[in-house]
A and B are shown apart, each in its own frame.
Chain A
Amino acid sequence: MTDTIHKPAVDYRRRQKLARISRNLAILIGALVVAIYVLAPVAWLVSSSFQTEAEIVSVPPHWIPEDPTLRNFEAIFTAGNEEEITYENRSGQDPASGGYIPSTAKNLLPAMWNSTVVATLVVILNLLVGVPAAYALAKIRFMGRDASIYFILMTRVIPDIALVVPFFLVIKNLGMLDSIWSLVLTYLAVTVPFTVFILVQYFEGLPDELDKAARVDGCSRIQALVRVFLPLSLPSLVAVVLFAFLTSWNEFLLALMFTQTSASQTLPIVLAAFTSDFTISFSFINAAGVLAIVPPIIVAVIFERYIVSGLTAGAVKG
């Protein structure tokens, strides 16, 4: 055995290193670009939420508040006494009267709570209802499968504007007006079709053999779904959770129609109400917008970690 070792014509070790460096560089630049693209508007949102109404309209803008104020946040967090509102304790702080914080500021936290409750319920129901359906559509061959899919798709192609009034009739007849259940139900109907699509796509990618193995191991369909498919579908479940949560969190039109009092009003409605015909506080709205990001981000942080790769490695041969 000769022991001469030639360096390869191309120094792949160096190349590998270079590749790694350029990859890291590309990632760094990519990550920076993405982060800037995403965060720049939000940064401005945050910055301005600490400015007074007079400061935010400066030309050119003050990127960093010169005279930072917590008024906006204080208004949101200090308001909200449970007492009955009387002439004496009413908040006269509508903008024209010298303050620019709308009197509905105190509704923000309850509305966020409503939104959170609605979104959470919608997420749970979406999973309960959507997961079995997706499993059936992906793994069970039955007549009318395609028809079902197109039917589900069809429920989502009509613009919401056209559906507002009939939706309203349904909700009224169910006696759910001005209750968060009206939103839970309609948001469910609005999100579940897509939830099903997301999951169908993913389930179809999972090897049939796993389903078969589970069933031979004594699982009913439902058990196979719960014990084998769900743990393998974590990434898509995260997508569904985020999708359902955020869609509910963002939805405006239906909430506008079905909710009337702070008992059921959700965040977007209260936010929109800050721009009433007398209300003009961008800085306050921005503060509210900043707070609005918090719960979804908490949800995202909790669930994001479950988007992991290669869950099915080693499962089947072929």
Chain B
Amino acid sequence: MIFLAPVMLVLMLVAVFPILYSLYLSFFRIKLTRPNRTPFVWLDNYTDLFGNELFWTSVARTVVFSVVSVSAIAVIALLVSLLLNQDFRFRRVLSTIILVPWAIPYVANALMWKWIYDSGYGALNGLLFQLDFISRYMVFLGDQNKTIYLIANAFVWKEVPLATILLLVSLKAIPSDLYAAARVDGATVWSRFVHVTLPAMKPGFLLVMIYETMMAIRHFDLFFILTEGGPGDASHVLSWHIYVETFRNLSFGSGAAMSYVLALVTFALSYIFIRTLGRRV
């Protein structure tokens, strides 16, 4: 298939080797500080995970983070895309504004939020204080019950634009005569939404779910800059765990194994989305 060749070439060249390489690593017990002792351990790196308490904690954290943020993204993006699909005066302005969070590099985004959430001089505290919602500055990121949701908020804020665009694109593709048919069939605004709009948005939703799930499960930057997994292990998500294992502990083998576990989960989820939201990708 000549049309696929360029993509395949790029992926083969750049993506396939890394994937196989880390798969290969995951079968060895590699600790960089012991360059001379790297035994082939077959699946031990994987089986070890079952007994690793922190690993399961991180899985739980990841699940919470992903579920919260992906559902928030999907809902907000749905609402915003429906809004932007309307015809009104400032539509163009609004749809440009909505892209702003996307345009801020992750690093700047994380720093911005860190600074907004700060318990000493943060803008959020300042705002709540001035509005008299709180009488003294609150602890945000340092509160282990709030941390993950606050990080999710920063993540959602950043990811909504892409999701919105993806949904908007599929909204725009709906042929208007379907609405005409539905109106004649007696469908109210709501039924038209349910029976015409939503099914037509399936492709967009599929993209959003796959992409955002992937991003949420793997998300790293915010955790790195905002909390480094803290306080305690409150934001110790799987991607952070992998990072620590790989770069702090220099255990490339088990890091790769965990990456593979995460990859399989992501793949399985994507597969489920593909199966449920569309027969084809």
Contacts and interface: CB of A to CB of B under 8 A. Distances in A.
Interface string B148-181: 0000000001001010011011111111110000
A311 B173 contact: yes
Residue in B10, B166, B207 whose Cβ sees the most chain A Cβ within 10 Å: B10
A52 interface: no
Contacts of A307: 95, 165, 168-169, 172
A111 to B, nearest CB: 10
A300 B96 contact: yes
Residue from B8, B103, B259 having most chain A Cβ neighbours under 10 A: B103
Contact of A275 (B18, B111, B121): B111
Given A201-B206, A202-B173, A285-B111, A159 B262 contact: yes
B184 interface: no
Contact of A155 (B15, B115, B174, B264): B15
B179 to A, nearest CB: 11
B263 A159 contact: yes
Among B129, B165, B271, which residue has the most Cβ atoms of chain A within 10 A?
Answer: B165
Say which size band chain A's interface belongs to. 35 or more
Interface string B224-265: 000000000000000100110011000010011001101110
A202 B169 contact: yes
B218 interface: yes
Given A41-B113, A275-B111, A292-B103, A163 B204 contact: no
Interface in A186-214: 186, 188-189, 192-194, 196-198, 200-202, 204-205
A246 B102 contact: yes
Contacts of A267: 105
Contacts of B281: 137, 149, 153, 197, 200-201
The A interface, classified by DSSP as helix, strand, loop or mixed, is helix
B252 to A, nearest CB: 7
Given A159-B259, A163-B19, A310-B176, A170 B13 contact: yes
Interface string A209-236: 0000000000001100000000000011
A263 interface: no
A154 to B, nearest CB: 6
Nearest to A198: B207
Q: Which of B112, B127, B157, B243 has the most chain A CB atoms inside 10 A of its CB?
A: B112
A18 interface: no
A156 interface: yes
Interface string A145-170: 01011111111111111110111011
Contacts of A312: 173, 175
A154 B162 CA distance: 21
Contacts of B112: 41, 44-45, 286, 289
A253 B247 CA distance: 13
B241 to A, nearest CB: 10
11 contacts: A39-B97, A58-B121, A136-B4, A157-B264, A159-B242, A159-B263, A162-B22, A163-B19, A197-B210, A310-B175, A311-B172
